[in-house]
Chain A
Amino acid sequence: MSDELKSNTSPQPDAGPAAARSTVPIWIIVLTLLLLFLGAVYFDHHSGWFDKQVYAPYTSAGQLASYQPKSGAAAAQARGRTAYEAACGICHGSDGLGKPGQAPPLTGSEWVAKDVASLARIPLAGLNGPIQVAGKDWNLSMAPMGAGMSDSDLAAVLTYIRESWGNKYGAVSADEVKAVRAAINGNAPSAADLARMTPVERGHAVFQKFGCAQCHGPDAKGGVPNPNAKTAEQVPSLIYVADGYTKDELIAFIKRGERDIPRMNPAGPEPPHFMPQWGPIITDAELDDLAAYLLSLKPRGENLGF
């Protein structure tokens, strides 16, 4: 009886080895948690969330630029590529093959092979209407994406286009771009003219300089087709912006642009035209004048009664 009691109240002297409470050092747990946490931070930083840019090979244009060589012909080539990707690649493609319904190819295009003046005129003045490229008919409109670039940047882009994807047509110099720009801007107002003009008149010059008319129409009345855009498949008119925007709101919108145009048929193709982000291209003074011009477009005497 006394033996039984004893065995119930105290451990067996010959019991096998048992796990101690703490075999894993506390610092390993801490380290594991820390690594898990840092891993989560890494994914958060690099995942891009739901941004479609997540599949781009670089996290930012700045990072891409930092990888580029800093001098020589390779630097010029890299600069051309960076500017091309930012301004042209969205429609013409990183591979220069173009996109159906958006932009014709630049590889094997007779327009790229032509003389520099003909080629440079396209980004400087824009291109609107029917054109044949590599045996196919296209009928679209392109804003003068190069109008806001410096001569040397545009020369780098054109050189990149003429020397990439199997193209071998030679480099373009900044002086050549400068000459074409001067020819196009022959009747653009001089600095002295601009100083004499009212803000609305200067704004009209800005509207022409940056080719807003390419999409919004010569009188900003819109109507340029934009297939599958929710806005009745056309680029909107601008003559009523005074109704819907304050000056600050309008300037902010022009600076920001609108990359994703709502689609009429959500399952349909992306509308070819979108509002570029003009902030880095148009100066603040020009934007101020441009807004003055756009706000002046509202037809006089029209009153909606609210």
Chain B
Amino acid sequence: MRMNNKFGVFLGVAALALFGAGVARADDQLDAETKARIDRYEKGPATIDVSKYPQAIQDNYETFSQKCAQCHKLSRPVNCDYVLPDEWSRYVKRMMHKPGSGIDSADGKKIYEFLTYDSSVRKKAMLDDKLAKLSPADKAAAEAKIKEVHDKYDNK
């Protein structure tokens, strides 16, 4: 019984200490959550199996691989949770407008189309989930943009 008491005290102190450490970590860095997210994405695979995609999309995948790997790991965009056409459009443009990106608007469009196409196939579940949360108008607009890319590349 005496030992049980001591063990109880030990557990109590340990729990308090763990809690304290957790609080100390939480205010470490504002951006820790974002960093953790990026780390998680970068640990995933860095390549996509595009063998079943149309040939032109496979060509765009080449452009994506070459251009994007200049500045960051490919596993980051491959595994991240961006799936909507607007998300890809915004992030591709953000990167391509950086001075010295070496991505012209034709390359940017290829990369956008590849990522939108790929998201609608490989990340379909995540895409449907995000589409369901949009307003009807936004959802229709996003679906139209996805359809536009598929119409351009499928069965060609």
The answer to whether A306 touches B109, judged by C-beta atoms less than 8 angstroms apart, is yes
For B, the interface residue count at a CB cutoff of 8 angstroms equals: 33
Given contacts A34-B13, A41-B21, A44-B24, A244 and B6 within 8 Å (CB-CB): no
Is residue A208 contacting chain B, with contact meaning CB distance below 8 A? no
The answer to whether A41 touches B109, judged by C-beta atoms less than 8 angstroms apart, is no
A304, chain B: closest CB distance, angstroms: 5
For residue A37, which residues in chain B have a CB less than 8 angstroms away from its CB?
Answer: 14, 17
Partner of B90, one of A30, A222, A243: A243
The answer to whether B17 touches A41, judged by C-beta atoms less than 8 angstroms apart, is yes
The answer to whether B6 touches A304, judged by C-beta atoms less than 8 angstroms apart, is no
Interface of B is mostly: helix
The answer to whether B98 touches A236, judged by C-beta atoms less than 8 angstroms apart, is yes
For A, the interface residue count at a CB cutoff of 8 angstroms equals: 31
Is residue A117 contacting chain B, with contact meaning CB distance below 8 A? no
Given contacts A26-B6, A30-B7, A306 and B112 within 8 Å (CB-CB): yes
For residue A234, which residues in chain B have a CB less than 8 angstroms away from its CB?
Answer: 99
Is residue B147 contacting chain A, with contact meaning CB distance below 8 A? no
Partner of A304, one of B25, B100, B105: B105
Given contacts A37-B14, A44-B24, A306-B108, A222 and B3 within 8 Å (CB-CB): no
Is residue B123 contacting chain A, with contact meaning CB distance below 8 A? no
For residue A67, which residues in chain B have a CB less than 8 angstroms away from its CB?
Answer: none
- List A residues at the B interface (Cβ < 8 Å): 26-27, 30, 33-34, 37-38, 41, 44-45, 49, 51, 222, 230-234, 236-237, 240, 243-246, 256, 262, 264, 304-306
24 examples of A-B residue contacts, CB within 8 angstroms: A33-B10, A34-B14, A37-B14, A37-B17, A41-B17, A41-B18, A41-B21, A44-B21, A45-B21, A230-B100, A236-B97, A236-B98, A236-B99, A243-B90, A243-B93, A244-B93, A244-B97, A245-B90, A246-B90, A256-B31, A304-B109, A306-B109, A306-B112, A306-B113
